[in-house]
Structure 1
């Protein structure tokens, strides 16, 4: 099984912290954010990883190397200029292979168990959704009986953790593009499953949220 960690974002809202350090290498609980992900994936038995990068990406490669020190195998998908979520995954497809794969946003932290990289028959994606945080009260998608819909009364926030089939990207072309329109199109065809994680989840989008996470992890 293979997984991809998205690490190409510029992290403008984290400035000045990200002026000289890529966001995934910012530290919380004594270790870089991206290392938290790698350790959880390795513990779940997922050791073939792909990491994309753009802003200061050479620092990520220098810090993580081939992943052997963390018990994984890392291959990199450098982008130069960030290709957004959809474009970044599409560029990395040759490294991810023909089977469904797991994707994790590099700027979240959660205690959600690593989901199995299996999809229901006919599905193109499976999303982990969480309660709407204070900074995103309207949510992203609706969850109804294990199916994710573009609209609905029970709206939740996409956690940044999903399983995708390569066929989700079948009509895409190289370049920068977002992931959400692809997901919404698949939802309208009832080809996206999901589940709700009610535990801890942090969207580490500001220095204040990073400090909150660091405080929580440090104090236990």
Structure 2
């Protein structure tokens, strides 16, 4: 299986580090977020990675070349001309996955000890278009699922916005973990162009397609988006990788 590491973002929350570096190279215990995630993927037998790049793209490319991909085969999806957000970035990277039945996508600034192999097996067993890793934790934005963990929508609890504007009260809130496993068929179903998010894709398709949530609430998960979260990551994950 191949994996796409989403590393093209500007990392504005991680300033001042990202004034001169990409967030993917932010250090945790002497290792970059990029290296930690690549080595974590290796624990589950994933040695082929595609990394999308934009902000200080050359630094990521040079690091991967210098470190020989940290032991993995790597390819670059270059968004240097224009950052395309997560959904647009996925669509641009489609040629790298033309021979894959399923593939994994995750944000480079998310750290977790989740069992990715179990997630992949669950995805393949249920034969879903997309499997979203989610948790029951506090957030301002949630995916909404029915009792069978099928995606029904999304909401921002701070603004009250819901997409689509569903009236169902029985849905359950789960926070997205930035990890997903996708079937190759996803590419033929994306009707958007330019910049758009993965969330947009899932909300477009959840009415007609099987998009499932997988609750991994017992696992460690940290969004390393702010300078203080780098310190927290150093403590939480010092014995994991």
TM-score (norm 1): 0.89
Deviations 1:152-203 (A, max 9, x none): 5420111010011232232435522111121023222251122101111111
Answering whether residue 196 of structure 2 is matched by residue 177 of structure 1, we say: yes
* SS of the residue 2:197 aligns to: coil
CA distance in 1, matches of 2:226, 2:209: 35
Answering whether residue 21 of structure 2 is matched by residue 3 of structure 1, we say: no
CA distance in 2, matches of 1:32, 1:59: 12
Do the aligned partners of residues 67 and 2 (structure 1) sit closer, same or farther apart at CA in structure 2, a change above 3 Å counting? farther
Deviations 1:61-105 (A, max 9, x none): 111128645221000001012100000010001012242210011
1:141–1:148: 8 Å Cα contact kept in structure 2? yes
Do the aligned partners of residues 90 and 120 (structure 1) sit closer, same or farther apart at CA in structure 2, a change above 3 Å counting? farther
Counterpart residue number, 2:109? 107
Do the aligned partners of residues 35 and 141 (structure 1) sit closer, same or farther apart at CA in structure 2, a change above 3 Å counting? farther
Counterpart residue number, 1:24? 24
How many matched pairs?
218
Counterpart residue number, 2:164? none
Identify the match of residue 142 of structure 1 among 145, 170, 173.
145
Counterpart residue number, 1:127? 132
Do the aligned partners of residues 68 and 116 (structure 1) sit closer, same or farther apart at CA in structure 2, a change above 3 Å counting? farther
Answering whether residue 120 of structure 2 is matched by residue 116 of structure 1, we say: yes
Cα RMSD between the aligned structures?
2.2
Structure 1 consecutive aligned stretches of length 4 or more whose deviation exceeds 4 Å = none
CA distance in 1, matches of 2:91, 2:66: 22
1:13–1:206: 8 Å Cα contact kept in structure 2? yes
TM-score (norm 2): 0.82
2:129–2:209: 8 Å Cα contact kept in structure 1? no
